[in-house]
Structure 1
Amino acid sequence: MELYTAIQLPKPPFRFSWQEHTLLLGSCFAENIGTKLAENRFNVDINPFGTLYNPASIAAALRRLLHPERFTSNDLFRHEGVFHSFTHHSRFSSTSETECLENINDRLFASAGELRETKYIVVTLGTAYVYRLKSTGEVVANCHKLPEKMFDRSMLSVAEIVSEWKELLLSLWEQCPELKILFTVSPIRHWKDGAHGNQLSKATLLLAVNTLQTTYPERIAYFPAYEIMMDELRDYRFYANDMLHPSELAVDYIWQRFTENFLSDETKGFLKEWAEIQKAINHRPFQPESEAYKRFISQTLLKMERINEKFPSFDSTKEMEIIKSKLM
């Protein structure tokens, strides 16, 4: 008896390898999955502009990475003693203009320098609604709590999203011909849009992504994080206290579904061995002086030596030092 509606994941046109560089951009769900990848020693760059929600702002960030130009004081504004950028999340904001620009530009050029070596980009779209600054007509990535009267709010159409992203993708593939793109739609509901408005927004994103994916089926894939949350995890026990964000358990489950379908066999094998080592590193013994625990540590060191032999590019120096310190 089936007690829930399982989401069937189609065979993807490509699979991720832990050794290849991956760039993640988008909503806070991109951060959730990016953190999981980083914990499992993937080579990742997570949100170099901070958390972004709408397709236009994410596209603008990618264009800036493709053609990096240094941000200047003209790109900042000051509000209540803090300097902000309309292109960035507030994590880059600072009471010092110099510090704000240093944070922004250091991150920009570090990520831009890695873009041409990037094999995969994961884009997580949060909402189709955008805010435009009335004085310029510019779509902002973050309003930084400025008065609502300064902005015009509207929803992007499917055609607008597809048109902008087609042009961007062709530019990306011109510079990075082997680049693969994975789109997801964030499972986090934007309740400020209202229940109906949120559904319209998500539907717009889904239609736009589907158009792009069917246009470039070998280069673009879709992972149904939104559908998994809405169907397989529809119970409120899978939500955080705000009843909008996925709980830690839900993120773990969606991560499991992602690894089952989108990782290469070699990477799955690596993750299995690495999980055993992580468990050993985090283990807290009742009797750290016992011979049994010393044998356990020695066996863990042997496992690490074997994983280094099997995956020569894997650097476990830090973890080896942690394990060896437990023998002292």
Structure 2
Amino acid sequence: MNPYRDLPAERFWRKAVAGVPPFALDPGPRDAFRIARTDRVATAGSCFAQRVSQALARGGFRYHVTEEAPEGMGEAEAASRQYGTFSARYGNLYGPRQFVQLFDRAFGAFDPQLKAWQRQDGRFVDPFRPTIEPDGFADEAAVLAAREHHLARVRDLFESLDVLVVTLGLTEGWRCRADGAALSLAPGVAGGQFDPAEVAFVNATTSEVIGDLAGFLDRLWSVNGRARVIVTVSPVPLIATYLDQHVLVSNAQSKAVLRAAAGEICERGDPRLVYFPSYEIITSQTHGGRYYGEDQRSIAEAGVAHVMRSFMRSFSPGPDSAPAAPPAHTSEAEFAGTAGIVCDEETIERSLA
């Protein structure tokens, strides 16, 4: 009466990890929902989410973009202004609090007091997506006008998507003391001036991440009950930590919190929600670190390919469904921003140069 006797091979390390070639490691879910070729698939989160969107487009899925580049804009300019980098031009969303507040801002439930940051060159940027306009804005009014258009596209996105791939990236961040508005970067990095009286450093706990992620899902399903969500954790390490400890320790702590929170939420049994182990695939010791670049941070193409092989096996509609090309209205123009990876966090290092 050994309870482990009849378990499938994937439950045993020797059979499912040590007993297979590294490239064949496939820990993806087997009983998850399937994504049809016609489903509108959106992405949001940290910089690794961009690798997912690229692979989805190459795999013949319908990458859903609601904030498109203006007609006549060239591909290079569209990419530099992050059109198509994510499904809307919200930039990197590193933690669940940003997801919650993006939804609330889009649907009129939250209006942060912070309106704009001024850069050293006199131009202005949106504090909640400070890198989407390389040349900045002329004034605060231009920032607010662009934000209003953007949030309308975000509303459309949340109401129309069929599948959302959420990539959690960080627990560390900065929030405005006045109203708790969550920022993707600290003021002074890509605009604004750092004043500890105005902003506070935060490092979200597991319970906070669980609360924020659950809150975002409840909000999304309140306007789009059919939406299915794939949650994953970014394998890209922190570029810097504000905690008084080695960055390696902070990175382990941050990823552990995000992974634990994602696991708890996804184990609640909602069939519209599933965890996908991209973090585990990239960081597995079976690959001997070969899935990272020389900087030990960027993800090598071989690693992305492995993640997406597993992703396709878990979610593609099946062998009888041919990988059709995306519909014409979701083709090259929407993928213009996916040629390069945009990581707002890297602005921290550049700001110190």
**Cα distance change on mapping 1:138 and 1:110 into 2, 3 Å:** closer
* Structure 1 SS opposite 2:259: helix
Q: For residues 270-281 of structure 1, what are the structure 2 equivalents within 5 Å?
A: 270-271=322-323, 274=325
- Between 1:105-114 and 1:154-163, the stretch displaced more is 105-114
Partner Cα separation in structure 1 for residue 130 and residue 51 of structure 2: 16
**Cα distance change on mapping 1:70 and 1:110 into 2, 3 Å:** farther
Q: Does 2:40 align with 1:21?
A: yes
Q: 1:8 aligns with which of 12, 16, 27?
A: 27
Partner Cα separation in structure 1 for residue 183 and residue 258 of structure 2: 18
Give the deviation of 1:7 after TM superposition.
4.3
Q: Is the 8 A contact 2:42 2:165 kept in 1?
A: yes
* Structure 2 SS opposite 1:251: helix
Give the deviation of 1:200 after TM superposition.
0.9
Residue number in structure 2 paired with 1:54: 95
Partner Cα separation in structure 2 for residue 129 and residue 318 of structure 1: 36
Residue number in structure 2 paired with 1:235: 288
* Structure 2 SS opposite 1:123: strand
Residue number in structure 2 paired with 1:256: 309
Residue number in structure 1 paired with 2:221: 173
Residue number in structure 2 paired with 1:96: 138
Q: For residues 139-288 of structure 1, what are the structure 2 equivalents within 5 Å?
A: 139-143=182-186, 145=189, 150=196, 151-193=199-241, 194-231=247-284, 234-265=287-318, 269-271=321-323, 274=325
Could you tell me the percent identity over the aligned residues?
Answer: 20
Q: 1:109 aligns with which of 141, 144, 152?
A: 152
Q: Is the 8 A contact 1:120 1:182 kept in 2?
A: yes
Residue number in structure 2 paired with 1:124: 167
Give the deviation of 1:155 after TM superposition.
1.4
Give the deviation of 1:134 after TM superposition.
4.5
**Cα distance change on mapping 1:16 and 1:178 into 2, 3 Å:** same
* Structure 1 SS opposite 2:175: strand
Question: What letter matches 1:10 in structure 2?
Answer: P
Give the deviation of 1:33 after TM superposition.
0.8
Provide TM-score, normalisation by structure 1.
0.74
Q: Is the 8 A contact 2:283 2:289 kept in 1?
A: no
Partner Cα separation in structure 2 for residue 318 and residue 189 of structure 1: 32
Partner Cα separation in structure 2 for residue 70 and residue 215 of structure 1: 28
Unaligned runs of 5+ in 2: 1-18, 66-85, 242-246, 333-353
Q: Does 2:115 align with 1:75?
A: yes
Partner Cα separation in structure 2 for residue 126 and residue 100 of structure 1: 26
Q: For residues 289-328 of structure 1, what are the structure 2 equivalents within 5 Å?
A: 314-315=327-328
**Cα distance change on mapping 1:260 and 1:2 into 2, 3 Å:** closer
Residues 163-206 of structure 1, C-alpha deviation per residue, up to 9 Å, x if partnerless? 22323322322221111111000010114231111111111111
* Structure 1 SS opposite 2:132: helix
Residues 187-235 of structure 1, C-alpha deviation per residue, up to 9 Å, x if partnerless? 1011423111111111111111111111243121011010000116643
Greater relative CO, 1 or 2 (CA 8 Å, sep 6+): 2
Q: Is the 8 A contact 1:52 1:89 kept in 2?
A: no
Q: Is the 8 A contact 2:94 2:169 kept in 1?
A: yes
Q: Is the 8 A contact 1:73 1:101 kept in 2?
A: no
Q: Is the 8 A contact 1:7 1:227 kept in 2?
A: no
Higher helix share: 1
Give the deviation of 1:237 after TM superposition.
3.3
Q: Is the 8 A contact 1:157 1:204 kept in 2?
A: yes
Give the deviation of 1:88 after TM superposition.
1.6
Partner Cα separation in structure 2 for residue 132 and residue 317 of structure 1: 36
Larger radius of gyration: 1
Residue number in structure 2 paired with 1:282: none
Partner Cα separation in structure 1 for residue 270 and residue 259 of structure 2: 15
Residues 26-72 of structure 1, C-alpha deviation per residue, up to 9 Å, x if partnerless? 0111111112223435132325201121221122223334x158989
Question: What letter matches 1:77 in structure 2?
Answer: W
**Cα distance change on mapping 1:12 and 1:78 into 2, 3 Å:** farther
Q: Does 2:128 align with 1:87?
A: yes
Corresponding residue pairs, total? 278
RMSD: 3.1
